[in-house]
Amino acid sequence: MASLTNCGGQQFQCQQISLRGKAAQVRASLHTIFTIANGSLHETETLLLIAVDLGFIKHPICNDLLGRTAEVGRLLGGLLCHLRAAN
């Protein structure tokens, strides 16, 4: 702790820049993860529709599940929008 109180202004400034860089990396990683999740969500919706067409599940069940995927999509969209705004 003594080294923090005795450090020069330049060292502190470098640490701030380093932390900002790490935060940007984390945001970029989260953006990638949420984008992949969104793609997987769309794939799931497509597979549900195929399952109905093939008779594996009934329409009411599919509609319920599609409603749930729509809610997840809204959540992912909000997270992606927030990450974009943070940049």
- The pLDDT-based confidence of 73 (bands split at 50, 70, 90) is very high
Amino acid at 57: I
CB 51 within 8 A of CB 57: yes
* 33-50 tens-digit pLDDT: 999 999 999 999 999 999
d(CA 52, CA 56): 6
**What number is the average pLDDT over the span 55-60?**
97
Amino acid at 74: R
Give the tokens for residue 63.
């509609």
Q: Is 58 left (phi over 0), alpha (psi -120 to 50) or beta?
A: beta
pLDDT at res. 21 = 76
- The pLDDT-based confidence of 3 (bands split at 50, 70, 90) is very low
Domain residue spans in the chain? 8-86
pTM above 0.75, yes or no: no
